[in-house]
């Protein structure tokens, strides 16, 4: 076993861990970052598949994400806008393909009225929610006891309106069916983006991409941190003592993080991993009861991000923006995802939660055929024959186990939310899945990395 002594050991080289490390190093602290994978970035990963550059994980930047935008500026990274000129496609319950502009889908007038009314109601409720403390809302418990699906049923009997509003939070964000999470969890998701209207507005929420891919953020941070990062080092055990600041007993410091070949002794540890992976590590002594309990009430959503690359962005020739939605389609949303300065055209589509379970029970060939068939309903037959086809399957990734992120089960947010980020002795927690603003996004990961570094620097 190699032994290293440092001020702070950080578990996880995603955006949260690397931001915390950068802040601590800039303040003169020594850090070691232990990363399980053989690369940095976690859920940010740009790869070349059969000659096509694909963003396998997170990619979009929205204008409210100031922490991310500041980091992009610090690293000198350039952004470009998602292609959005032309008409969008909506497929209705009868399978009829309709073209539209703006945010409201081309649905019957009554349904449109219901959708607009629901958006207004949700915006008003979201305005009362502090994303950093959704459990502090006077009706938090009540809102956490009712599923989002049920809450929608109490508001309207219009199926199409409910399905569309549900889709923006369920399939498109938490990537769980809307009966599987509470109304409070849905309000947190919207509050973290500023309003429900922002979530509905694809031009806002999916505004920009980074030239070369969003993984440039962790790669840029990692370059500056250099040898402080140790790859291929899954942390198996954390030994810790209640007291911090070198006062620990058996371990001589506050914590020891143990991998298969390293023992890192430090005053503090930051667990910058998805919260569902916290209990995969052994703790000596065990974590307190509340931590054991709360992690059992969190689970990852699940979505397949589908990439289809074509010789040209052919849909643009027919005046289509590439933006497409349908709560009735296997692929419930799709966009033009053509890379900056790339003559080829790329479409990205998403197959979420139970639909994703369904297609994963098929062979790879059948799954591809079913997904492309759904995409072709939006863009026509040319969509059936991409030159490159790839499915991002984060559910199979041992060090992530789902996508996009973790959320609480029914009742869990009001009951345990406040404990999620509370440090335990020398053990601190940071991850996008614990953020208020920027929750489940890279912006939230950066915010959490900054917050936890500040707490350590202030001796909290």
Binding site for ligand FDA (CB under 6 A): 11-17, 34-37, 42-44, 57-60, 234-235, 272-274, 277, 281, 305, 392, 394, 399-400, 403-405, 431-432, 440-443, 445
> What minimum distance in Å lies between the beta carbon of 248 and ligand FDA?
21
CB nearer ligand FDA, residue 43 or residue 428: 43
What is the distance between the alpha carbons of residues 285 and 262, in angstroms, rounded to a whole number? 19
Q: Output phi, psi for 199, to 5 deg.
A: -65, -35
> What minimum distance in Å lies between the beta carbon of 303 and ligand FDA?
6
> What minimum distance in Å lies between the beta carbon of 106 and ligand FDA?
26
Query: Taking the alpha carbons of 96, 113, 143, 287 in that order, is the dihedral positive or negative?
Result: positive
What is the distance between the alpha carbons of residues 407 and 300, in angstroms, rounded to a whole number? 6
97 touches 91 (CB < 8 A): yes
State both tokens at 154: 């109490």
> What minimum distance in Å lies between the beta carbon of 8 and ligand FDA?
15
> What minimum distance in Å lies between the beta carbon of 155 and ligand FDA?
29
> What minimum distance in Å lies between the beta carbon of 443 and ligand FDA?
6
CB nearer ligand FDA, residue 80 or residue 311: 80
Cα–Cα distance list, 93 to 108, 329, 352, 383 (Å): 11, 9, 18, 21
Cα–Cα distance list, 299 to 241, 276, 287 (Å): 28, 6, 19
333 touches 172 (CB < 8 A): yes
> What minimum distance in Å lies between the beta carbon of 84 and ligand FDA?
15
CB nearer ligand FDA, residue 159 or residue 393: 393
CB nearer ligand FDA, residue 57 or residue 254: 57
112 touches 104 (CB < 8 A): yes
What is the distance between the alpha carbons of residues 374 and 383, in angstroms, rounded to a whole number? 9
- Rounded to 5°, the CA angle 284-247-272 comes to 55
CB nearer ligand FDA, residue 143 or residue 435: 435
CB nearer ligand FDA, residue 299 or residue 432: 432
CB nearer ligand FDA, residue 105 or residue 335: 335
């Amino acid at each position: 076993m190699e032994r290293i002594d440092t001020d702070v050991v950080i578990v996880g080289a995603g955006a949260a861990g690397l931001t915390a490390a950068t802040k601590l190093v800039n303040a003169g602290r020594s850090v070691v970052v232990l990363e399980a994978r053989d690369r940095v970035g976690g859920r940010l990963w740009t790869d070349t598949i059969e000659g096509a550059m694909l963003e396998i994980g997170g990619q979009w930047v929205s204008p409210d994400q100031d922490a991310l935008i500041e980091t992009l500026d610090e690293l000198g990274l350039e952004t470009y806008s998602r292609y959005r000129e032309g008409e969008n496609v909506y497929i209705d319950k009868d399978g009829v393909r309709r073209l539209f502009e703006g945010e409201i889908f081309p649905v019957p007038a009554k349904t449109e009225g219901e959708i607009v009314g629901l958006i207004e109601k949700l915006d008003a409720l979201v305005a009362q929610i502090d994303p950093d403390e959704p459990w502090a809302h006077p009706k938090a418990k009540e809102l956490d006891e009712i599923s989002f699906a049920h809450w929608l049923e109490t508001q309207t009997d219009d199926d199409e309106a409910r399905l569309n509003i549900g889709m923006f939070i369920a399939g498109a964000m938490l990537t769980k069916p809307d009966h599987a999470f509470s109304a409070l969890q849905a309000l947190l998701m919207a509050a973290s983006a500023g309003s429900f209207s922002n979530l509905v507005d694809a031009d806002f929420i999916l505004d920009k991409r980074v030239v070369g891919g969003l993984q440039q953020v962790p790669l840029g941070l990692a370059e500056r941190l250099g040898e402080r990062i140790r790859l291929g080092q899954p942390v198996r055990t954390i030994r810790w003592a209640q007291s911090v600041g070198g006062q620990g007993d058996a371990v001589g410091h506050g914590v020891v993080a143990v991998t298969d070949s390293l023992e890192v002794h430090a005053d503090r540890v930051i667990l910058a991993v998805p919260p569902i992976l916290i209990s995969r590590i052994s703790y000596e002594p065990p974590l307190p009861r509340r931590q054991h309990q709360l992690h059992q009430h969190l689970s990852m959503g699940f979505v397949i991000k589908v990439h289809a690359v074509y010789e040209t962005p052919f849909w643009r020739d027919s005046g289509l923006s590439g933006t497409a939605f349908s709560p009735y389609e296997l692929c419930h949303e799709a966009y033009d995802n053509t890379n900056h300065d790339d003559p080829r055209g790329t479409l990205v589509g998403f197959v979420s939660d139970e639909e994703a379970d369904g297609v994963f029970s098929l062979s790879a060939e059948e799954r591809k055929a079913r997904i492309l068939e759904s995409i072709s309903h939006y863009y026509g037959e040319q969509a059936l024959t991409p030159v490159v086809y790839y499915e991002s399957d984060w559910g199979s990734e041992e060090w992530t186990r789902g996508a996009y992120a973790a959320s609480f089960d029914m009742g869990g947010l009001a009951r345990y939310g406040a404990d999620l980020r509370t440090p335990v002795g020398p053990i601190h927690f940071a991850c996008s899945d614990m953020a208020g603003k920027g929750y489940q996004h890279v912006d939230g990961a950066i915010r959490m990395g900054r917050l936890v570094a500040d707490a350590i620097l202030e001796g909290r």
